Amino acid sequence: MKAASASQTNQALLLRKKYGPLYYLRRDWQLYLLVLFPLAFVIVFKYMPMTGLVIAFKDYKIARGFWGSDWVGFEIFQQIFSKPDFTRAVRNTLLLNVLDLVFSFTMPIILALMLNEVKSIKFKRVNQTLLYLPHFLSWVIIGAIAYQLLSEGSGAVNNLIELMGGTRVPFLQEDTNWLISYLAIGVWHSMGWGTIIYLAAISGINPEMYEAATVDGAGRWRKVWNITLPSIRATIVTLLIMSLGKVMDGSFERIWSLQNKATTEFTTTIPVLVYRWGIESGNFSRATAIGLFQSVIGIILVISADRLAKKLGEDGIL
Amino acid sequence: MKASTVTPAATGKWRIDIYDLLIKFGLIVASLVCLLPFVHVASKSLSSDSYVIANKVFLWPKGFTLEAYSKIFADASILRSLYISVIVTVLFTILGMILTICAAYPLSRAQFKGRRVITFIFLFTMYFSGGIIPDYMNINNLGLMDTIWSLVLPLSFSAFNLLIMKTSLTSSIPVSLEESARIDGAGHFRILWNIVIPLSKPIIATLSLFYAVGRWNAYQDALFYIKHATDLRPLQLKLYYLVIQASESFQLEATTVTLSNPEVLKASVVVFATLPILCVYPFVQKYFVQGVMLGAVKE
């Protein structure tokens, strides 16, 4: 009886394999109907714009339209590569992101290790709530608060410096200072939020390891160094590689709300240049080309980062 | 603090107690660094002009007054932008969740043929996009420029949220449950509506918050797409023009009080824009933490 039913299902499986796509379409039409809605959305708002990338290879004239404009091959790219603004934008994009990585990457690890040492749950929770707070604010609000605190004329930090007998510092109105403030604000914004993944990784560590280490006479630092850190190594490496894949990205909003007319040296990044050339000056071909340049480098970096992660034995991101 | 006084008695070592205190001190400093900027801005917004001009306000209001706030509430354009932000955020979140569920449910079903290809089509958008200008021209071609739809539609599909939803549906809805519903004659729509959605309420709540807070805070697209229709500016964009670019002035109801210090008004408008987030923050924080963990599972 059992064998018979088994062979029956086997037969059914064999039969089913012969069905064409129409069979599945008929059987699961509701599923296809459901997926059609988001699919249409993605095509209209994500894939249709991609066709607009052709104007990076055309001399786009609004009057002649999208398809009517002349093909110019790589001429637009040659033009932008020779622009000093372009070189500066690429340098700044890499510079800001690499420095951001250096400073913003370690702070969450340190904070997570510190939070892990705290025994009182209440103390921990209050601290976490406060530390996560900056992550929830928009860059406009952060930019506005930054000016309230750091501006040369009336910023609270400068008022404090003056009160203690120092001289006022143009934190946001001078190039190098601006760069430091930009990085510091980045650390401030992400340090608490970044701890979440590390804390989750730490909470997955087997407590018996700590108990064994305590019995063997290991102190606090020894346990952090020999148990906690090695246990979260995989998480650290994965996150580091993911961030490396993003060094060509650039947050427009963050730069845009922190920049001002006095500091142009480091604020010209690729997205800013795209905005200036494209939306402000109406040179769509050039702005599209520089955006495409960034996207292509970006995707190459992501794929390489993924390969690297897999080579090192970590889970990839793709 | 309590724990630290217990430790030396328990272990008999003073050294540990000092480290404990140092760690706690470090954490308190870090937390204060996150909190005090808000305290300062809030104090400034509640102070009277003369103290602010004299740079005397730090962490407590001096010459307490609500004058700046009464000016904000008298400014129709600020209230209008708050209203736009609320409308856009609500529409965006609802649409985003519908799209996410419609995509995630079929893609999480093993019997759904072609899901590899469709998943690729969705997830590819996470790594490659047309970019700012092609998006801009697309919105222009669709005739969405200077409408609230330019803020609602383009970003309402998030591949990242789809991934989280799909992972959650694959792991949390037992196949047997679905199978028994099918045997009872329920179609996919019934299963989705009566079984999957009620069982996924927590993840739906989490992702809705992701969508809502993301939309509330973003201003880049509004900066690009809302150019001429000044009455359609969401709050963040309004804030940008008022405070950061300082190109717009407050529409003061009585022009005779224009002598008031713009710094106080700026501080109070920052507080005004931050308050909605601060009010919901304590309640939504834990959902966000869960969401981050779910997103990390895939990595």
Q: Is the pLDDT of residue B165 over 50?
A: yes
**Quick one: DSSP state of residue A167?**
-
Based on the domain organization, do A14 and A60 belong to the same domain? yes
Based on the domain organization, do A13 and A116 belong to the same domain? no
pLDDT of residue A172: 86
Q: H-helix or E-strand containing A59?
A: strand A58-59
From CA B52, how far away is CA B40, in angstroms rounded? 11
**Quick one: DSSP state of residue A28?**
T
pLDDT of residue B262: 78
Of the pLDDT bands very low, low, confident and very high (cuts 50, 70, 90), residue B249 is: low
- List the helix and strand counts (H, then E) for chain A: 19, 2
First to last CA, chain A: 47
Cβ-based burial of A17 (10 A; exposed 0-12, middle 13-18, buried ≥19)? exposed
Based on the domain organization, do A97 and A67 belong to the same domain? no
Which is nearest to A50 in space by CA: B132, B123, B145?
B132
**Is the distance from CB of B103 to CB of B119 less than 8 angstroms?**
no
The total of other beta-carbon atoms located within 10 Å of residue B295's CB is 17
- Decide which of A71, A91, A113 is a domain's last residue: A71
Q: B122 vs A38: CB contact, 8 Å cut-off?
A: yes
Based on the domain organization, do A148 and A232 belong to the same domain? yes
Based on the domain organization, do A66 and A89 belong to the same domain? no
Of the pLDDT bands very low, low, confident and very high (cuts 50, 70, 90), residue B16 is: low
CATH number of this structure's domain B67-294, picked from the four choices 1.10.3720.10, 3.60.9.10, 3.30.460.80, 1.10.275.10: 1.10.3720.10
Of the pLDDT bands very low, low, confident and very high (cuts 50, 70, 90), residue B257 is: very low
**Interface subset of A 218-237, CB within 8 angstroms of B:** 220
- Residue in A closest to B280 by C-alpha: A136
Q: Which residue has the higher pLDDT, B29 or B247?
A: B29
From CA B77, how far away is CA B183, in angstroms rounded? 57
**Is the distance from CB of A113 to CB of A106 less than 8 angstroms?**
no
Based on the domain organization, do A115 and A246 belong to the same domain? yes
* Residue in A39, A114, A192 nearest the CB of B26: A114
Rounded (10°) angle between helices B67-74 and B76-107? 70
Q: Does A81 touch chain B (CB under 8 A)?
A: no
Q: How far is CA A207 from CA A58, A110, A118, A213, B199, in A?
A: 62, 20, 15, 10, 33
Q: Does A12 touch chain B (CB under 8 A)?
A: no
**Chain B closest CA to A274's CA: distance in Å?**
7
Chain A residues with beta carbon closer than 8 angstroms to that of B8: none
pLDDT of residue A42: 95
Q: H-helix or E-strand containing A146?
A: helix A139-150
From CA B147, how far away is CA B144, in angstroms rounded? 6
Sorted by sequence, the CB contacts under 8 Å of residue A292 that are 6+ apart come out as: A53, A56, B131
Chain A residues with beta carbon closer than 8 angstroms to that of B137: 49, 52, 55, 66, 284
Chain A residues with beta carbon closer than 8 angstroms to that of B103: 34-35, 38-39
pLDDT tens per residue, chain A (318 residues)? 444 455 555 555 555 556 777 887 888 888 899 999 999 999 999 999 998 888 888 888 777 777 778 888 888 899 889 989 899 999 999 999 999 999 999 999 999 999 998 888 999 999 999 999 999 999 999 999 998 888 888 888 888 888 888 888 888 888 899 999 999 999 999 999 889 889 988 988 999 999 999 899 888 888 999 999 999 988 898 888 888 888 888 789 999 988 888 788 888 899 999 999 988 888 889 999 999 999 999 889 988 988 888 888 776 666
pLDDT of residue B3: 43
Which is nearest to A112 in space by CA: A102, A127, A97, A100?
A127
Question: Three-class SS string for chain B?
Answer: CHHHHHHHHHHCCHHHHHHHHHHHHHHHHHHHHHHHHHHHHHHHHCCCHHHHHCCCCCCCCCCCCCHHHHHHHHCHHHHHHHHHHHHHHHHHHHHHHHHHHHHHHHHCCCCCCCHHHHHHHHHHHHHCCCCHHHHHHHHHHCCCCCCCHHHHCCCCCCHHHHHHHHHHHHHHCCHHHHHHHHHCCCCHHHHHHHHHHHHCHHHHHHHHHHHHHHHHHCCHHHHHHCCCCHHHCCHHHHHHHHHHCCCCCCCCCCHHHCCCCHHHHHHHHHHHHHHHHHHHHHHHHHHHHHHHHHHHHHC
Q: H-helix or E-strand containing A102?
A: helix A84-117
Structural domain includes residue A243: yes
From CA B138, how far away is CA B134, in angstroms rounded? 6
pLDDT of residue A247: 86
Q: Is the pLDDT of residue B99 over 90?
A: yes
Q: Does A52 touch chain B (CB under 8 A)?
A: yes
Based on the domain organization, do A257 and A146 belong to the same domain? yes
Chain B residues with beta carbon closer than 8 angstroms to that of A127: 27-28, 30-31
Based on the domain organization, do A110 and A23 belong to the same domain? no
- Decide which of A21, A51, A71 is a domain's last residue: A71
Chain A residues with beta carbon closer than 8 angstroms to that of B157: 38, 41-42, 45-46
A202, two tokens: 């730490």
Structural domain includes residue A67: yes
**Chain A closest CA to B255's CA: distance in Å?**
25
Based on the domain organization, do A149 and A268 belong to the same domain? yes
Of the pLDDT bands very low, low, confident and very high (cuts 50, 70, 90), residue B4 is: very low
- Residue in A closest to B283 by C-alpha: A129
Chain A residues with beta carbon closer than 8 angstroms to that of B236: 138, 140-141
**Is the distance from CB of B137 to CB of A48 less than 8 angstroms?**
no
- Mean pLDDT for chain B overall: 84
Q: B99 vs A188: CB contact, 8 Å cut-off?
A: no
**Is the distance from CB of A310 to CB of A316 less than 8 angstroms?**
yes
pLDDT of residue A186: 93
From CA B153, how far away is CA B132, in angstroms rounded? 16
Which is nearest to A147 in space by CA: A256, A257, A261, A266?
A257
Which is nearest to B226 in space by CA: B131, B152, B134, B277?
B152
Based on the domain organization, do A61 and A88 belong to the same domain? no
Of the pLDDT bands very low, low, confident and very high (cuts 50, 70, 90), residue B7 is: very low
- Decide which of A45, A71, A97 is a domain's last residue: A71
For residue A138, give its domain range: 83-311
Based on the domain organization, do A29 and A139 belong to the same domain? no
pLDDT of residue A21: 77
The total of other beta-carbon atoms located within 10 Å of residue B131's CB is 26
User: What pTM does this model have?
Assistant: 0.87
Q: Does A35 touch chain B (CB under 8 A)?
A: yes
pLDDT of residue A148: 86
What's the number of domains chain A is made of? 2
Q: B34 vs A114: CB contact, 8 Å cut-off?
A: no
Question: Residues A46-59, buried b or exposed e (16+ Cβ, 10 A)?
Answer: bbbbbebbbbbbbe
Structural domain includes residue A129: yes
C-alpha torsion sign, points B82, B86, B87, B88: positive
Based on the domain organization, do A64 and A111 belong to the same domain? no
Structural domain includes residue A191: yes
Structural domain includes residue A77: no
Q: What is the CATH number of the domain that holds A136?
A: 1.10.3720.10
From CA B94, how far away is CA B90, in angstroms rounded? 6
The total of other beta-carbon atoms located within 10 Å of residue B107's CB is 25
What digits encode the pLDDT tens for the residues B103-115?
999 998 888 888 8
Size of interface A-B (CB pairs under 8 A): 258
Q: Does A119 touch chain B (CB under 8 A)?
A: yes
**Is the distance from CB of A191 to CB of A111 less than 8 angstroms?**
yes
